[in-house]
């Protein structure tokens, strides 16, 4: 069966990119099915109200729980993971993307304003896993662009969506390290040369060089990733280098 993605938002047109390029093709080929739903269809007042002022005071508005409960009862199959993008969430990672890709699908609840009444996520946890996640340490206007990011990260891991399996397995982050630099023709360009080992035809030497570049770049740009590698992930020769 197709991987099933359902998104609830007050800005359905913001999710139009889900129908384009890699994802659009995956949908056409029956690998993924995508539903985008306007939260306001689950309001019952003439103003189609989805927000209200926060208890306890403070700036901004909070999304009301009732429309969300009705929306989730309509679009979330029993047991299906609910993902709630929020800057106050746990960090979204490649590992999460891989775990979610092994499930039958995902439901996304896009909050705007100052977020969704916390009781929605608390209540929703009775019906299946709920993940409140952040895509990075910055604040977006709402969860919609975060959903685009997470859907792209998850769907490219689904069997058949990306042509070349290896290009997924060797990605940055797949082994906890950043990927090193890539080069193509010409070998010499505006005074900059391709590293000679890549032209040597010595595949073992090329692999050693790539591993070293990967480690060098990770140490330089993301020392936090190196520190987080499991014990024994680096052999003695690499630690010395």
236 is in an annotated binding site: no
85 binds ligand ADE (CB under 6 A): yes
| The CA-based dihedral angle spanning residues 155, 158, 161, 165, taken in that order and rounded to the nearest 10 degrees | 120
**Which one is catalytic: 38, 99, 103, 171?**
171
Closest distance of CB 139 from ligand ADE, Å: 5
Among 135, 148, 153, 178, binds ligand ADE (CB under 6 A): 135
Binding string, residues 142-161; x marks residues near ligand ADE by CB under 6 A: -x--x---------------
135 is in an annotated binding site: yes
Q: Give the angle subtended at the CA of 164 by the CAs of 162 and 170, to the nearest 5°.
A: 100
Question: Is residue 16 classed as helix, strand or coil in its secondary structure?
Answer: helix
Active site residue 114: yes
Q: Which two tokens stand for residue 23?
A: 């994802």
Among 1, 139, 239, 240, binds ligand ADE (CB under 6 A): 139
* Cis amide bond preceding 236, omega within 30: no
**H/E run at residue 106:** strand 105-109
Q: In what order do the strands lie in the sheet with 32-38?
A: 32-38, 3-9, 105-109, 81-91, 130-134
Residues tagged in the binding site annotation for S-adenosyl-L-methionine: 111, 135-140
Site of interaction with ligand ADE (CB under 6 A): 85-87, 134-136, 138-140, 143, 146
Residues taking part in catalysis = 87, 114, 156, 171
């Amino acid at each position: 069966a197709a991987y099933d993605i359902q998104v609830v938002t007050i800005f359905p047109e913001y999710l139009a990119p889900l129908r384009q390029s890699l994802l659009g093709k995956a949908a056409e080929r029956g690998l993924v099915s995508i539903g985008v739903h306007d939260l306001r269809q689950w309001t019952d007042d003439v103003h189609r109200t989805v927000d209200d002022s926060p208890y306890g005071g403070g700036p901004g508005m909070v999304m009301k729980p009732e429309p969300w409960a009705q929306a989730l009862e309509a679009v979330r199959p029993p047991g299906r993971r609910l993902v709630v993008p929020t800057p106050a969430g746990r960090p979204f990672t490649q590992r999460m993307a891989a775990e979610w890709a092994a499930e039958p699908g995902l439901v996304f609840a896009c909050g705007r304003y100052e977020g969704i009444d916390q009781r929605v996520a608390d209540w929703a946890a009775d019906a299946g896993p709920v993940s409140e996640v952040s895509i990075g340490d910055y604040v977006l206007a709402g969860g919609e662009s975060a959903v685009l990011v997470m859907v792209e990260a998850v769907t490219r891991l689904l069997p058949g969506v990306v042509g070349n399996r290896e290009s997924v397995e060797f990605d940055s982050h797949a082994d906890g390290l950043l990927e090193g630099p890539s080069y193509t023709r010409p070998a010499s360009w505006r005074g900059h040369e391709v590293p000679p080992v890549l032209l040597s035809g010595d595949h073992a030497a090329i692999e050693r060089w790539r591993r070293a570049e990967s480690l060098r770049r990770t140490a330089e740009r993301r020392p936090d990733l190196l520190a987080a590698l499991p014990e024994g992930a680096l052999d003695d020769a690499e630690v010395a280098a």
